[in-house]
Amino acid sequence: MELRHLRYFNAVVEAGSFTAAAIQLHISQPPLSVAIAKLESEVGVPLLVRTPRGVEPTGAGRYLLDASSRILGEIDDVVSALGRFGAGTAGSLTMAAVPVLMWHRVPQLLRAYATHAPDVEIRLVDPPPWAAIDMLQQRTADLAAIMVADPKRFAQRHRGSLDIVDWGEIPLVAALPPDASDAPDPLPLEAFSGKVVLLPRRTAAVPSLPEAVENAFRRYGVTPASIRTVETIQTCIPLIEAGVAVAILPDPDRASLSRFNLTVRRLAPEPEPLQAFVLARSGATGNAAIARLLERISGNRPDHMR
């Protein structure tokens, strides 16, 4: 039994005649009659009967009409769904993004993406940058969003194995305790001299915030009282809120740190910003859902991020 024959059969019943059905199907009547006769031969029972009112289904034909309508409807749904997969408007993908990008930029991206691809399920994880790259290479993530201090060096190192999409600069700002609300804006970088400054643990695999802050201190002659190493950027925040120390932190779109009980100030002179990248395995853009998301990242950044 062929799906084509079921469609022919349904068309004949709905049209009430072979002639009208042949016109709707854009075929001649003889092949249509042959197809229905073959279908009846395969199932071993008459399916249609000619009456003065036209062609009508037999009892077996009415059963087949109900069953074939369900089958053909499901087939059409499957074809439609597969088409959405091919167009990148359905499917699923996993994005590994460092927490700082999760606080503002990723939600903004996903909100815009969902308007064009509402049936794509996006799973989020928030590992440190080196772990995000490992997940990408191990195929447990489809995309990785990270921040780096030396974008040219990073791109040169990974260009052959990863597709790298520029997601714009990430400014570095002063993150102070909440009782420092009288601090000037911009805050002189020299204000960090003699202070206890927090820095997340560095990794040689992905130079990022620690290297950027230390370069700024070295360049402008700033000497903190001490630099205290913490595990991650997010573990800096409770300590700053408690007034234990201060830090220089990335603030994507100058909108990510405002959710915390911090005093946030621009810096003068302003340190070199970090660079946000979204990474995919080389060739992964063959997946239409990934390609669509990367196009939105690269094509819809605000002017100040281009």
Which single residue is written with the structure tokens 């997340």?
200
Q: What is the DSSP string of the chain?
A: --HHHHHHHHHHHHHTSHHHHHHHHTS-HHHHHHHHHHHHHHHTS--EEEETTEEEE-HHHHHHHHHHHHHHHHHHHHHHHHHHHHHTSEEEEEEEE-HHHHTTHHHHHHHHHHHH-TEEEEEEE---HHHHHHHHHTTS-SEEEEEES-HHHHHHHHTTTEEEEEEEEE-EEEEE-GGGTT--SSEEGGGGTTSEEEEEPP-TTS--HHHHHHHHHHHHT---SEEEEES-HHHHHHHHHTTS-EEEEE-GGGTSGGGSS-EEE-EESPPPPEEEEEEEETTGGGSHHHHHHHHHHHHS--GGG-
Percent of the chain with pLDDT over 90: 66
- The side-by-side arrangement of strands in the sheet containing 274-281 is 119-125, 90-97, 143-148, 274-281, 162-170
Q: What residues have CB less than 8 Å from 185, skipping those under 6 apart?
A: 265, 266
Report d(CA 183, CA 176) in Å as an integer. Answer: 9
pLDDT tens column, 31-73: 999 999 999 999 999 999 988 888 999 999 899 989 988 888 8
pLDDT at 281 over 70: yes
Contact 157, 266 (CB under 8 A): no
Report d(CA 145, CA 268) in Å as an integer. Answer: 28
pLDDT at 249 over 90: yes
pLDDT at 88 over 60: no
pLDDT tens column, 14-36: 999 999 999 989 999 999 999 99
- Token reading at 253: 């779109």
pLDDT tens column, 108-145: 999 988 888 888 888 999 998 989 999 998 999 999 99
**Comparing C-alpha atoms, which of 138, 140, 108, 137 is closest to residue 123?**
140
